[in-house]
């Protein structure tokens, strides 16, 4: 009985570790990490990280529960259009910020609003993405709960790295320049999302 429990525990740890490694490597430098980096460079880092983590908890849960069929629920064109609009609006707002607006904007963007914004950006951008489909696929061959844990830890780690880098950028680059850079970055994401609509 003890050997059976030990084997089961080892299998679950192996599944979680395998999932963590694969998803972590797949997500390094991906758009969700760049979104975290851009937002954390301009705003408080905690709501950005928590918003991203909450989005990944939900996305991985959906992937595990519903498998690869999740992306079929909402047409890819609709998701791509929503992502394009969201990124374009955020990009344009970022580009409009001038040097004298820096302090004021940081005060007016509430933690709750930043959490929701980050959650929506990550959730819409990652719905049906390669990592979510990978999680759904791994659930077919590995235990569901360890896959969910491994994937969520991996995506949380990449988000934390993005937030960390974003916070460090603020020490070296003037805030209004970061606004402009992140604005261009979001507009590029919007343009990429538009290509998925057509």
Q: Could you report the per-residue pLDDT of 20-48, keeping only the tens digit for each?
A: 988 888 777 777 887 888 888 777 888 99
Rounded to a whole number of angstroms, the CA Rg of the chain reads 18
Distance CA 153, CA 157 (A): 6
In tens, the pLDDT along 43-96 reads 788 899 999 999 999 988 888 876 544 445 666 677 678 767 877 877 787 677
Distance CA 44, CA 127 (A): 25
Close Cβ partners of 132 (under 8 Å, ≥ 6 residues apart): 59, 60, 62, 63, 70, 71, 126
In tens, the pLDDT along 121-177 reads 888 878 777 777 778 777 766 788 898 999 999 999 999 988 888 777 766 777 667
Q: Which two tokens stand for residue 139?
A: 């659930």
pLDDT of residue 21: 86
| Cβ–Cβ under 8 Å, residues 48 and 40 | yes
Residue 75: count of CB within 10 angstroms of its CB: 11
In tens, the pLDDT along 93-122 reads 767 765 544 444 444 456 678 899 889 888
Please state the pTM of the whole predicted model. Answer: 0.69
Q: Which two tokens stand for residue 38?
A: 């851009």
pLDDT of residue 4: 57
Close Cβ partners of 112 (under 8 Å, ≥ 6 residues apart): 47
């Amino acid at each position: 009985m003890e050997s059976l429990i030990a084997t089961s525990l080892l299998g679950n740890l192996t599944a979680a570790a395998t999932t963590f490694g694969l998803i972590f490597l797949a997500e390094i430098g991906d758009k969700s990490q760049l979104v975290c980096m851009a937002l954390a460079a301009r705003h408080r880092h905690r709501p950005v990280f928590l918003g991203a983590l909450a989005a990944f908890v939900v996305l991985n849960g959906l992937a595990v529960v519903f498998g690869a069929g999740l992306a079929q629920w909402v047409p890819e064109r609709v998701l791509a259009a929503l992502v394009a609009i969201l990124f374009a609006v955020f990009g344009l707002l970022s580009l409009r910020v001038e040097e004298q607006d820096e302090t004021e904007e940081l005060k007016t963007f509430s933690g709750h609003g930043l959490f929701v914004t980050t959650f929506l950006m990550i959730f819409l951008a990652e719905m049906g993405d390669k990592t979510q489909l990978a999680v759904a696929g791994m659930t077919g061959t590995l235990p569901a709960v360890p896959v969910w844990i491994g994937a969520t830890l991996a995506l949380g780690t990449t988000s934390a790295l993005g937030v960390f880098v974003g916070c460090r950028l603020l020490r070296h680059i003037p805030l209004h320049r970061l606004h402009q850079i992140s604005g261009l970055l979001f507009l590029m994401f919007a343009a990429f999302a538009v290509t998925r609509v057509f």
